Amino acid sequence: MEDIITLDYGSGGQKTSELIESLLLPAFDNPALRSLGDGAVLPGAENLVFSTDSFVVSPWKFPGGDIGKLCVCGSVNDVCMAGGAPRYLSLSFILEEGFPMQSLREIAASIASQAKQAGVIVATGDTKVVERGKGDGIYINTACVGFLRAAGLGKDSIRPGDAVILSGSAGCHGAAVMMARAGLAQGSALVSDCRSLHQLSEAALCAGKIRILRDPTRGGVATTLNEFVEGTAFSIEVEESAVPVDPPVEAACDLLGLDPLYCACEGRMLAICAPQDADAIVSALRTLPGGEQAARIGTVTGSYPGRVVLHTRLGGTRILAKLTGRQLPRIC
Amino acid sequence: MEDIITLDYGSGGQKTSELIESLLLPAFDNPALRSLGDGAVLPGAENLVFSTDSFVVSPWKFPGGDIGKLCVCGSVNDVCMAGGAPRYLSLSFILEEGFPMQSLREIAASIASQAKQAGVIVATGDTKVVERGKGDGIYINTACVGFLRAAGLGKDSIRPGDAVILSGSAGCHGAAVMMARAGLAQGSALVSDCRSLHQLSEAALCAGKIRILRDPTRGGVATTLNEFVEGTAFSIEVEESAVPVDPPVEAACDLLGLDPLYCACEGRMLAICAPQDADAIVSALRTLPGGEQAARIGTVTGSYPGRVVLHTRLGGTRILAKLTGRQLPRIC
């Protein structure tokens, strides 16, 4: 590890893992934390799921959402991905002196609307203010408590032959925020996928045997897939042609030099499931808003232990590594 | 309200209340939030208590603690004050690019040690990194989940004649941080009172009939007492001579032009209790570390509805208003 914190440590990729595994995890080690899921099933209160996220997205408003919508979806989705039904949200602001009251009002309205949609209440909160130049307008932390709905999710249950499902197109959120940051979002068809996953995760859990769920946020689909198999005897083989990517995302990524597979999603779900249930799960997802493009994108195999491999459209095969360093700072 | 956020809105005093009551509460209104306690008893899961706090204290290390110790005590204490026994902590960092890894390691160790002492585990977490100049080294958010231990605490149960107890001396945390900020802490006897209140609150709840508990953080003892009686038909009358204030705090406050009654505590508890139980509660607190100076400092009366009144050492009487504006920015 380096001597100082760099932006890479916040990327959600290799450096973030390094920070967690070599500094944070050893300090706080316990079974709940060790699973390194998006949310934790609480030891001694196994009916409860708990998650947290801080949001520092820049700009705070982007096509398809804002930091308010994002901060609800982020923590709600983490509870969903841990197999929980989200119910209670905590909400804490770090505001920079000079932030417009009208923007705060707009963000509060966005939080309220998204919370209603996701079926959670803001149960408790906090507000801090820092001096001008010690923040960037607004940072928000949310934590979410929910009730466990499906126990035993986790990478330990993944088996060769399992199917890998993605609930929608890759990389919309990351591409939309980067275009907004570059001042290029106006008039573009590019919209963040930011959305609460409570319905999609519930539908997947009802439709078949799910091994693990995770939303591919920082580091994108490629990094999350790597988290599923790293340190195991299994690999994931992905068919590039099966991964839905919207044309405006493709175009934006070309323009910005990004790869959609490494761009953050904020309303997509990766699911690994028993092979015989894959079709039923995909069909169930496709009936729901935000799941219309759900697709089976790959398979768990034993051919490349611990690795994710992409079978490209051109017939080639390449390793899809975890994101190293930063691709997109402050994407959420 | 003003058009922009000013530091006053983060003071914990009048302006913070204004922001909460006129902007945030209307947006998210629900019974859990409306109680405006430090922690919320969750509707539909009334055995659970949930709290959150963000920490932006500057400097991050001060005599008697650091942001790591503080971020555990803060959320743990909020659960305790809501009548809960704290169990699970979420932990989220917002780090500024360039923050020394060694400092982060030190803070993590401090969090781990304080969590152990308070009987909570770090169950889930998150790390974000912002660019240089968009933060101030380190901000931390914690949320805490605990199990309800005493139901029905709240200002509705306060009655004339009730006793007001303070678990220790006033204002140590605020005075210690301000002295550290002024570079005057070295060699001084001034130490923050930062401490987990799980033992003291448990002892108070066992020793007698508690009406309400709260830890006097931002805005200090004076502001918290006001929160107990504002909007009610009752008043609180405080005997200045009964409020323990440590001589180094007195001296620091004189030097800095502060009033110890408005300086934040981070390890003190204000309790209102049935009059006949006051002596037993004070005695119980005094047997515990951090409670040695516990004292009955005042009484609930009907003489000045909605007000807090101080009977001074000199025999005078004055209104002790809620903190208006900022006294101490970034104290926690």
- Return the CATH number at B298: 3.90.650.10
Q: Does B6 touch chain A (CB under 8 A)?
A: yes
Least confident of A195-199, A235-239, B13-17: B13-17
CATH number for A121: 3.30.1330.10
> Hey, which residues 78-117 in chain B have their CB within 8 Å of chain A?
78, 87-88, 90-102, 104-105, 108-109, 111-112, 115
In a shared domain, residues B260 and B315:
yes
Chain A stretch 181-240, residues whose beta carbon is closer than 8 A to a beta carbon of chain B? none
Q: How many domains does one find in chain A?
A: 2
Which residue among A5, A45, A104 places its CB closest to the CB of B97?
Answer: A5
pLDDT at B327 over 70: no
Pairing of strands B308-311, B235-239: parallel
Is B175 or A35 the better-scoring residue by pLDDT?
Answer: B175
- DSSP tally for chain A: helices H, then strands E: 10, 14
A244 and A176 housed in the same domain: yes
Kindly state the average pLDDT of the residues B128-157.
96
Residue B328 in any domain: the answer is no
What's the confidence (pLDDT) of residue A239? Answer: 98
Nearest-Å Rg of the Cα atoms of chain B is 19
- The answer on B313 and B166 residing in a single domain is yes
Q: What is the pLDDT of residue B326?
A: 65
Claim to verify: residue B304 and residue B195 sit in the same structural domain: yes
Strand, coil or helix: B302: coil
Render B69-100 in DSSP notation, one character per residue: HHHHHHHHHHHHHTTEEEEEEEEEEEEETT-B
Give helix B172-181 / helix B247-256 axis angle, nearest 10°. 50
> How many other C-beta atoms lie within 10 A of the C-beta of residue A312?
12
Whether residue A116 is predicted with pLDDT greater than 90 in this model: the reply is yes
Lowest pLDDT segment from A294-303, A305-314, B65-74, B323-332: B323-332
Residue B192 located in a structural domain: yes
Banded model confidence at residue A327, pLDDT cuts 50, 70, 90: low
Contact B331, B190 (CB under 8 A): no
Q: Please tell me the predicted confidence (pLDDT) of residue B30.
A: 87
Smallest CA–CA distance, residue A268 to chain B, in Å, is: 19
Scan for tokens 């799910």, then name that residue: A210
- Domain final residue pick, B120, B148, B176: B148
Instruction: Work out the number of other CB atoms within 10 angstroms of the CB of residue B185.
Output: 22
- Among candidate residues B131, B148, B165, the one where a domain is terminated: B148
Regarding pTM above 0.90, the answer is yes
Distance between A21 CA and the closest CA of chain B, angstroms: 12
Which residues, at least 6 apart from A57, have a Cβ–Cβ distance to it below 8 Å?
Answer: A67, A70, A177, A330, A331, A332
State the sign of the Cα–Cα–Cα–Cα dihedral B301, B302, B308, B313.
negative
pLDDT at B233 over 70: yes
Residue pair A35/A133 in contact (Cβ under 8 Å)? The answer is no
For residues B309-324, average pLDDT: 94
Q: Which pLDDT does position A30 carry in this prediction? A: 87
Residue A103 lies in a domain: yes
At residue B188, the pLDDT reads: 78
Identify the closest residue of chain B to A6 by CA–CA distance: B97
User: Would you say A210 and A276 are in contact if contact means Cβ atoms under 8 Å apart?
Assistant: no
Over residues A221-249, the pLDDT tens digits come to 999 999 999 999 999 999 999 999 999 99
Query: CB-CB: which of A8, A45, A51 is closest to B124?
Result: A51
CA A249 to CA A38: how far, in whole Å?
Answer: 25
Question: Do B199 and B288 touch, CB atoms closer than 8 A?
Answer: yes
Rounded to an integer, what distance in angstroms lies between the CA atom of residue A78 and that of residue A213?
A: 9
Q: Let me know whether B193 and B213 are in one domain.
A: yes
Neighbours of B222 (CB within 10 A): 24
Q: Choose among A130, A98, A103, A100: nearest CA to B326.
A: A130
For residue B273, give the amino acid letter: C
- A52 bridge partner residues: A143
Tens of pLDDT, residue by residue over B164-213, are 999 999 999 999 999 999 888 777 789 999 999 999 999 999 999 999 99
For chain B, the first-to-last Cα distance in angstroms comes to 24
Task: For residues A239 and A108, state if they share a domain.
Answer: no
A132, A183: one domain: no
Average pLDDT of the segment spanning A288-313? 97
Q: Give the largest CA-CA distance in chain A.
A: 57
Q: Which helix (H) or strand (E) holds B318?
A: strand B317-319
Gap between the Cα atoms of A43 and A220, Å rounded:
29
CB contact A314 to B (< 8 Å): no
Parent domain of B203: 155-319
Q: What is the DSSP code (8-state) at residue A223?
A: H
Q: Residue B1 domain-assigned?
A: no
Closest CB from A88, A97, A111 relative to B50: A88
Which chain A residues are within 8 Å of B16, Cβ to Cβ? 127
User: What angle separates helix A172-181 from helix A247-256, to the nearest 10 degrees?
Assistant: 50
- Flag whether pLDDT at A29 surpasses 90: no
Do B15 and B120 belong together in one domain? yes
Q: How confident is the model at residue B22 (pLDDT cuts 50, 70, 90)?
A: very high
Percentage of chain B beyond pLDDT 90 is 87
A296 inside domain: yes
Domain membership flag for residue B329: no
Question: Please, which pLDDT band fits residue B63 given cuts at 50, 70 and 90?
Answer: very high
Q: Which of A121, A148, A175 is the last residue of a domain?
A: A148
| Mean pLDDT rounded to a whole number for chain A | 95
Q: Is the peptide bond before B59 cis (omega within 30 degrees of 0)?
A: yes
Is position B224 within any domain?
A: yes
Q: Is residue A241 part of a domain?
A: yes
Q: Give, to the nearest 10 degrees, the angle between helix B278-286 and helix B198-207.
A: 150
CB A77 within 8 A of CB A119: no
Shared domain for A171 and A252, answered yes or no, is yes
- For residues A206 and A259, membership in a common domain is answered with yes
Query: Do residue B161 and residue B305 come from a single domain?
Result: yes
Dihedral sign for Cα atoms in the order A53, A55, A56, A57: positive
A159 lies in the same domain as A222: yes
